[in-house]
Structure 1
């Protein structure tokens, strides 16, 4: 099931199957000091994520797309405990992680892993590749011998397509794609049930992007039940890897559906604008395609528009859009938060 702050959607038809991850009405607000205002005035509130609920099942991949600053990465970090949650719950296999102590979180982190956007910034430059990959083993399995730890690291390197001879090299001696493979190897070391990919291919060349995405798909096929949340600006990559697509705008979800529905038949004006910017390999089709250009600037997240969050940039907005919040229909597989678009 999925829910934006404006409705609920079923992700999977089978309600009797237990979800791996349940996020309920998640909100992440930040207090920001305004240096231009008086010290007596309260801090501004930035609503980075404003009420998202979803259920993710084993083996599924949820793709999240949207402009920079829409709350994609904050949402992902809140799930894994790297961003403080203002309201809501994050339930992992029936237990709310936000109410768990450090000891339980330590156990859960083996099952939930994250791959960051910049591999070089997420890898310790003073540690060798072998040390980086095997560090979790030294943390969770201190009784393992040095030989066992090294063999585990080598096996994982081979699994992600790295030459074992790289085990004594440092991150700055590898390419960006190779460093990202190191990050993937570290994330897969404990056979996790969920991997959060926070723009893992954004800093890589196109050919390397394809290699990393194909690697993730291959590993998901090999690892039974592995679920993924894949965040990216490259909409073509999201289409290639995702089962479901969630479109975010200013902390809200404005369209959700299967990747076929969202990409082949986008309904929200914002989704149409995003997809029209994706280049088409065929020159004739690229020349003849319709471009949906959005006018105006993104509203300030400190003072979002009333009613429909997108109305100030929407080409089909009406006066009623400023008064009514568009609701998402929870009974369909492709739904849109728009007053003028019929839910499919």
Structure 2
């Protein structure tokens, strides 16, 4: 893999190979593209450019960092047995090249393994376990404004991509982390390629490197949201299900005349059983029952607010059989469409 090869092949000048503790690192004043300060009694990290990249190797109770600073690469062997918890003002993207990483995030222990990607929210208190981790990873630190800009970019998106981008940005202060797990070798190769290009651009710092890196981040997100499975931390699972349900409902409402289960599975990359379980948990209804509910609710609205005839409304909400439509409408409201319109018209007049 190119990422692994790069880590072991990048030349580091002897004077840039450092061994120090975390406290010494904070006090040394060297430029690693980030700073660490005490703020309100807590360790707080800030980055000094929009996108920063580093490698981290956890091996036999030791942590080695390879930083790409503004000058030349710095290889840092950290002397601490464990890290202290810290906050940051940026989003962290971590790709596990090989091995396993254990991170404590807001009191929850999260584990990541080969080829998984983790987003850690800004302001989430976290620390990596040196003792319990054995891995090589790429760490990409992204300024919050750049993150929002990149992941809400004006590119063509599937409903799933729209959902992920909107909610990663909107709830970045609520979600502590988001884990992506690979689902196919071809997409994994593409992900690795984008990551390699981001690392190469940040390391090389040629004219326009930051804009090029942003472009690769956009492509990376597109691949993640269509080719990876993703999991929120336990605290956010309910919020995730609620927001996903809202997005599924919006999709169904916008496609009432044509929506079928295959369209949902194609748009959101889940199996039919997942949608049935999601809708059942949120509404108590099956997918079919919920679709009928949405169609009848739209028919009620049109009967109340328009002069369209009943047959036109029937077609607009996705029904082609008049008898079936009348039966479902009557079961739902207790009235036929004609009587429902007459009653609501009378209520408006009174």
Say yes or no: TM over 0.5.
no
Q: With structure 1 as the length reference, what TM-score do the two structures score?
A: 0.25
- Which structure shows the higher helix fraction? 2
Which structure: larger Rg?
Answer: 2
Q: 1 or 2 for the larger relative contact order (CA 8 Å, sep ≥6)?
A: 1
